[in-house]
């Protein structure tokens, strides 16, 4: 019975019966029931055989039976319609983060700065923060006056009226702590519409195959604006914004391949996830919200408040059910309405042409260069048609794996067998190229690492995309090029448009003694601000914490003069000291390891080639029980040895850093004093919006899982290399 109910809800006939056909039936009271049924059948037949289109009629709304909008969410939907269609990225709406109909002011950076493109994001952000604090102060003052029954000025009364003329002083006081800024997304939404043409046809076909409502094909407008290169601070990737933990349930995610970035493969995964969500929740508003918040959380919400999405948004409370989750469904409804009436909002929109391709399955391991030569395509085309291929493959450091479904542009007269046979035997391989890895320790520099691992500084720099030999940091994972891949790594194809991997620059060793700040001469143009010295890549560190033993400071002129740490004298490494890189791992592989951020039982099981159940049994972890950062876990190496496990683990950790720094850069570093009630989770997620793994790298000697009031921790402040949806 459940299966049948699901099928009916998916079926487009419901859309017909839920709207105009019921009106038709009521008007046909003089006709026989047979005529009525025949009319319904013919109408359904016509509807089911019409080709699906990417847009509905102007002003279209999703099926109200499948996607109801309760009255309590109407103001939220209207708010997001304004975000998507009225205000650009140069405009910020200052609003109440619960009552989205309450908009205090719209800030226009063009009015503030004249030419906002020449103003840094940090300056804009600071300006918005000051405006938000002003409204908070005003609302608290008004609440206090209302409590004391003092008269309000006209301006103060206008603020109160936004919450209702009969709003109490408590309501105004609470509103003071809910002031938020939302950046307009009109220009980004239009770009998303243009991009959607590339893959929307494929998305609709996949959803139709899975019998999903066609409206859901527009959900990527909310997730990523149809940008398959989208990457969030917390590691969500692709147009469907899968995290690694969820994505690995449906897709391949490793150092060579990340199928989250492939819109077609990721859409298959999204279809499966949405189907599972609906199967367990039996409500599309809840299933859509679960896509953002998680199915388990929405089950708990449903147990308390039923299927009423309005009641859940108003009343459900959990640590992770915050602004994004509360608004996800309303954003979807708004995005659908704007996308299906795009001419009204944006005028003519030129959609990109649908991507056309032919798919081949690789029979061996091949370099990217050899397949480009075989199929007569450029590296750029290989990258465009196969976005799941990660940069190590495109840069020649790894090979395209066996069994990979390779896409090439759809060209006539392509004979697959003759193409494969045309590849020289010397360019066909049975194995992948595997790098060795080295985890940087205190006192290391690239010269030491190069000598110990029998390679060169230039090869290490090329293989790790380092622009300076001084830019390494404690805990960084360095790839050691194999003998057969050094030349490939150091010779990058000029047609590849890859952003260089950013690394944390010259981080100060955490146990160094405090010394006096380095005194700089004006002739050296050193930059010093508020007692902080700027390091390469914009990293800052307190002046009193520089120049540890055996190190000296050096100013490097690039965009501006910056301070880095370099060894006073490079130690001499004897020839017999050259040993394998993995033998220098500071935490030698043992049966016990410490869980690091972004790692799950499933990851350890994959790397060890054992079942998750076996690891749970060894560690006495119940089914469904989670592991946490800092936890000690016992492993088994009966199928994979310790060195291979460590290599796989290092590749995973390095891929997180590579992907992250392709989108974000560290702008500066601040010191945060822990306040009462704060945990590392609330500090990273709610206060600063930075990933835990990055904060841990800046605080190697702090136990971030055991913080106390007054503890000082360093917080890296980030800037985006590319624009994305932003709220403040």
Q: Which residues are annotated as catalytic?
A: 223
- Measured in whole angstroms, the distance separating CA 347 from the mean position of its chain's CA atoms is 31
Identify whether the C-beta of residue 281 lies closer than 8 Å to the C-beta of residue 302: yes
Residues 6+ apart with CB under 8 A from 623: 613, 616
Strand extents, DSSP E, 464-523: 477-480
Q: How far, in Å, CA of 633 to CA of 592, rounded?
A: 6
Q: How far, in Å, CA of 301 to CA of 307, rounded?
A: 9
Measured CA distances, 722 to 160, 239, 661, 725 (Å)? 38, 15, 11, 10
Tokens in use for 584?
């220098």
Q: What are phi and psi of 533, to 5 degrees?
A: -100, 135
Of 220, 198, 219, 216, give the one whose Cα is nearest residue 207: 216
Query: Phi-psi region for residue 434, left (φ > 0), alpha (ψ -120 to 50) or beta?
Result: beta
Identify whether the C-beta of residue 463 lies closer than 8 Å to the C-beta of residue 486: yes
CB burial of 578-603 (b: ≥16 within 10 Å; e: otherwise) equals eeebbebbeeebeeebebbbbbebeb
Residues 6+ apart with CB under 8 A from 506: 470, 471, 472, 473, 535, 536, 539, 564, 565
Q: How far, in Å, CA of 646 to CA of 591, rounded?
A: 11
Residues 6+ apart with CB under 8 A from 287: 274, 277, 278, 281, 298
**DSSP class of residue 236?**
-
Tokens in use for 370?
């050899």
Checking 26-34 for CB contacts under 8 A at 24+ apart, the result is none
Alpha helix segments (H runs only) across 50-120: 74-85, 109-113
Identify whether the C-beta of residue 406 lies closer than 8 Å to the C-beta of residue 359: yes
Q: Which residues pair with 439 in a beta bridge?
A: 477
- Let me know if 32 is exposed, middle or buried by CB neighbors in 10 A (0-12, 13-18, 19+): exposed
**DSSP class of residue 408?**
E
- Which stretch of DSSP H or E encloses residue 633? strand 632-634
Identify whether the C-beta of residue 399 lies closer than 8 Å to the C-beta of residue 429: yes
Tokens in use for 14?
């419901």
Tokens in use for 231?
């990457």
Q: How far, in Å, CA of 226 to CA of 336, rounded?
A: 13
């Amino acid at each position: 019975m459940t299966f049948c109910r699901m099928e009916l809800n998916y079926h487009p006939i419901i859309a017909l019966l839920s709207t105009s056909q019921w009106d038709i039936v009521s008007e046909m009271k003089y006709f026989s029931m047979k005529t009525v049924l025949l009319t319904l059948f013919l109408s359904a037949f016509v509807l089911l055989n019409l080709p699906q289109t990417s847009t509905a009629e102007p002003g279209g709304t999703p099926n109200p039976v499948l996607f109801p909008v309760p009255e309590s969410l109407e103001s939220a939907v209207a708010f997001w319609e304004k975000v998507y269609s009225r205000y650009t990225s140069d405009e910020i709406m200052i609003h109440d983060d619960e009552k989205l109909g309450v908009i205090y002011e719209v800030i226009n950076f063009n009015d503030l700065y004249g030419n906002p493109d020449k103003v840094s994001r940090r300056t804009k952000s600071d300006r918005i923060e000051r405006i938000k604090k002003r409204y908070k102060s005003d609302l608290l003052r008004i609440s206090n006056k209302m409590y004391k029954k003092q008269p309000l000025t006209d301006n103060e009364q206008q603020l109160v009226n936004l919450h209702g003329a009969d709003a109490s002083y408590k309501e105004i006081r609470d509103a003071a702590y809910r002031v938020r800024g939302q950046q307009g997304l009109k220009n980004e939404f239009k770009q998303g519409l243009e991009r959607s043409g590339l893959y929307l046809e494929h998305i609709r076909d996949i959803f139709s195959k899975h019998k999903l409502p066609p409206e859901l094909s527009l959900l990527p407008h909310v997730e990523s604006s149809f940008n398959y290169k989208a990457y969030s601070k917390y590691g969500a990737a692709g147009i469907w914004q899968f995290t690694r933990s969820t994505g690995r349930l449906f897709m391949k995610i490793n150092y060579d391949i990340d199928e989250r970035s492939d819109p077609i493969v990721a859409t298959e995964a999204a279809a499966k996830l949405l189907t599972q969500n609906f199967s367990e929740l039996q409500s599309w508003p809840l299933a859509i919200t679960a896509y953002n918040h998680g199915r388990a959380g929405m089950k708990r919400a449903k147990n308390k408040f039923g299927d009423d999405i309005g009641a859940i948004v108003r009343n459900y409370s959990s640590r992770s059910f915050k602004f994004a989750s509360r608004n996800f469904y309303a954003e979807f409804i708004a995005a659908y309405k704007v996308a299906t009436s795009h001419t009204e909002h944006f005028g003519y929109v030129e959609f990109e042409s649908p991507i056309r391709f032919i798919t081949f399955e690789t029979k061996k391991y091949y370099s990217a260069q050899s397949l480009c030569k075989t199929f007569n395509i450029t590296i750029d085309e290989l990258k465009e048609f196969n976005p799941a291929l990660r940069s190590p493959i495109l840069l020649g450091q790894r090979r395209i794996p066996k069994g990979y479904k390779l896409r090439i542009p759809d060209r006539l007269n392509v004979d697959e067998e003759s193409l494969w046979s045309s590849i020289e035997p010397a360019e066909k391989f049975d194995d992948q190229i595997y790098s060795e890895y080295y985890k940087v320790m205190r006192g290391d520099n690239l010269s030491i690492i190069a000598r110990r691992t029998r390679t060169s500084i230039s090869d290490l720099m090329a293989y790790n995309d380092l622009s300076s030999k001084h830019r390494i940091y404690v805990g960084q994972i360095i790839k050691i090029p194999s003998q057969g891949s050094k030349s490939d790594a150091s010779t990058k194809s000029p047609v590849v448009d890859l952003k260089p991997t950013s690394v944390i620059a010259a981080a100060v060793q955490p146990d160094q003694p405090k010394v006096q700040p380095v005194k700089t001469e004006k002739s050296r143009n050193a930059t010093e601000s508020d007692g902080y010295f700027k390091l390469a890549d914009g990293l800052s560190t307190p002046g009193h914490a520089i120049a540890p033993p055996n190190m000296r400071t050096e100013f490097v002129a690039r965009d501006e003069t910056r301070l880095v740490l370099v060894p006073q004298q490079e130690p001499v490494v004897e020839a017999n000291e050259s040993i394998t890189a993995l033998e220098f791992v500071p935490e030698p592989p043992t049966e016990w390891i410490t869980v690091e951020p972004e790692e799950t039982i499933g990851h350890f099981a994959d790397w060890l080639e054992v079942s998750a159940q076996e690891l749970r049994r060894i560690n006495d972890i119940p089914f469904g029980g989670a592991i946490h950062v800092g936890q000690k876990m016992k492993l088994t190496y009966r199928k994979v040895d310790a060195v291979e496990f460590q290599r796989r683990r290092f590749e995973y950790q390095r891929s997180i850093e590579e992907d992250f720094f392709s989108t974000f850069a560290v702008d500066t570093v601040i010191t945060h004093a822990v306040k009462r009630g704060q945990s590392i989770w609330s500090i990273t997620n709610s206060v600063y919006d930075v990933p835990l793994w990055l904060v841990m790298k800046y605080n190697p000697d702090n136990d971030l899982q055991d913080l106390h009031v007054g503890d000082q921790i360093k917080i890296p402040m980030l800037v985006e290399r590319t624009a994305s949806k932003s709220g403040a």
